[in-house]
Structure 1
Amino acid sequence: MRIAGAELLKLLGLPSAWIAFVIGLVVSPAIAFLNASTAVRAIENGTGAVPGGDAGYQELAFGVLGAIILGVVAISSEYLTEGEESAGTRQVTTSLTAVPSRTRLLAAKTTALVLTVAVLATVTTAVTLTVTRVVLGDHATSLTADTAPRALGVVLYWVLTSLLAYGITLLTRNGVIPLTVLILNTSLVSVTYLLSRVIDAANYLPDLVGARMFLRDFRSSVQIAPVTGGLVMTSWVIAVLAVGVAVFRRRDA
């Protein structure tokens, strides 16, 4: 646990990690506020309908950018060259000197990442759903027995997405590629979603299938249950992490 604690402090000490926290905490509530406000005005003007059951949840799919950044920097920071006082070495050299077992080091890093993202996702989910309900007022969807499982699905989605980014970065040892690919696919043009419109199998790609854990009004010809979506995304993450860990253990630091 001491190693995990040290890795947690190391992660929280990264400036890029705090940028990730801000993005994670601000993006989803901000978009939810704008969408809900627009919906209320449209309803009052008689030009819009009451938002569906995904109001608040769909915005959380954008806030996952913060989790992606955390997953990437948790590893990419190890490969940044340090200052002249350390002879231009990389952090990973120091980390492996302190913890020679690469398996234990990765286990500690993974634990720190999961805990951090889980807390971030929990807070952001609560804030986003609260903002949505407050702004929509009487137009908000009533709370049901499905509300808690969906909120849990969001947290799990964020954690798994961060681990996916983490695993890819283990392979690349550089944050540029995973950040570019994952952020573009999440925020601007979702290549996986466009692909799913022409190829049914693309619905089982990690980001799309994982979103089934909390989104219900998903436009797709393929019906996937929330539990199935979670299991499939978890399988993707385990596979990527397994390859990443194997490569990290075998190649030079």
Structure 2
Amino acid sequence: MVSQVRAELLKLLSLPTAWVGLVLGLIAAPALALVSAGGTRRAIENGFHADASDAAFQPLGIGLLGALILGVVVMSSEYTSTGDDSPGARQLQATLAAMPRRWRLVAAKAVTLSLLVTVQGTITAVVTLALNRVVLGDLVPAAAPGRVAGAVLYWVLMGLLAYALMLIFRNGIVTLTVLILNISVVSFSYLLTKVTPLAAYLPDIVGTHMFLNEVGDVRIAPLTAGVVMTGWVVALLGLGGWMFDRRDP
């Protein structure tokens, strides 16, 4: 498995789109923290944040785009053509020739993605929170290590969620478009919470309870949130792996 993870990591890092995801994930959140510092300061001083500590974590939401891109690209790259000489052939056929056990391939890609997003998320979270402390000072309390770990875990699980959806739908453009719209334009899950409180347990919403204290009207303990979101991701990865195992190359 170690050699397969290494091969998948090298393959992923050879893709230009993967580097877009890496760079975007690393710089977007710190940049937003700096740009929005004035507005965040005024919002805290005017009492618009029920929990001021959440303000330091909120810029991490935009950086999550990088993890989603990585989650999609790690699999969508397998469906690209291998070259003009063989327009009907795809990278997946070569990958399966080298690694014919499909479940092992699914697992290797999941481990590779998890490792890469963990590093990306940790660096981004530490830098973003440090910048917030510099620009906002005592308006935001120092971040507890548990909350930082929760934010990084959320990134990893969202990256794996994107990977699972890519396995299921086999369309990177549609998968990424829906995910980006959901976190950057309008959260369909959040809108559903206005209809039923059960929607608070959907994966993208419930996971935010691992590091944010104020998320809608439903309160979910961080540990419970982590267990529920992990359950969602494992179930969807299982479904995606099962579908991938039974499809033609």
The alpha carbon displacement at 1:50 in A equals 8.6
* Structure 1 segment 40-59 matched on structure 2, within 5 A: 40=41, 42=42, 48-49=46-47, 52-59=52-59
Q: Are 1:91 and 2:88 matched, yes or no?
A: no
Paired amino acid for 2:178: V
Provide the C-alpha distance between the structure 2 equivalents of 1:233 and 1:50, rounded to a whole number of angstroms: 28
Q: Are 1:204 and 2:201 matched, yes or no?
A: yes
Paired amino acid for 2:25: G
Note if contact 2:56-2:140 (Cα within 8 Å) is conserved in structure 1: no
Q: Are 1:250 and 2:240 matched, yes or no?
A: no
Note if contact 1:118-1:158 (Cα within 8 Å) is conserved in structure 2: yes
Provide the C-alpha distance between the structure 2 equivalents of 1:83 and 1:75, rounded to a whole number of angstroms: 18
Structure 1 residues 39 and 58, CA gap change in structure 2 (3 angstroms): closer
2:161 to 161, 164, 176: 164
Provide the C-alpha distance between the structure 2 equivalents of 1:99 and 1:228, rounded to a whole number of angstroms: 37
The alpha carbon displacement at 1:181 in A equals 0.8
What corresponds to 2:125 in structure 1?
125
What corresponds to 1:33 in structure 2?
34
The aligned length equals: 246
Deviations 1:163-201 (A, max 9, x none): 111011001111012101111000011111111122111
What corresponds to 2:134 in structure 1?
134
Structure 2-normalised TM-score?
A: 0.94
What corresponds to 2:104 in structure 1?
104
Give the secondary structure class of the aligned counterpart of 1:56: helix
What corresponds to 2:21 in structure 1?
20
Provide the C-alpha distance between the structure 1 equivalents of 2:187 and 2:104, rounded to a whole number of angstroms: 35
What corresponds to 1:116 in structure 2?
116
2:222 to 215, 222, 226: 226
Note if contact 2:40-2:55 (Cα within 8 Å) is conserved in structure 1: no
Provide the C-alpha distance between the structure 2 equivalents of 1:38 and 1:20, rounded to a whole number of angstroms: 27
Provide the C-alpha distance between the structure 2 equivalents of 1:133 and 1:50, rounded to a whole number of angstroms: 19
Structure 1 residues 108 and 135, CA gap change in structure 2 (3 angstroms): same
Q: Percent identity?
A: 50
Provide the C-alpha distance between the structure 2 equivalents of 1:66 and 1:102, rounded to a whole number of angstroms: 26
Provide the C-alpha distance between the structure 2 equivalents of 1:196 and 1:62, rounded to a whole number of angstroms: 21
> Gaps spanning 5+ residues in structure 2: where?
none
Provide the C-alpha distance between the structure 2 equivalents of 1:164 and 1:5, rounded to a whole number of angstroms: 22
Q: Are 1:174 and 2:171 matched, yes or no?
A: yes
Structure 1 residues 50 and 136, CA gap change in structure 2 (3 angstroms): farther
Provide the C-alpha distance between the structure 2 equivalents of 1:47 and 1:97, rounded to a whole number of angstroms: 60
Give the secondary structure class of the aligned counterpart of 1:176: helix
What corresponds to 1:79 in structure 2?
79
Structure 1-normalised TM-score?
A: 0.92
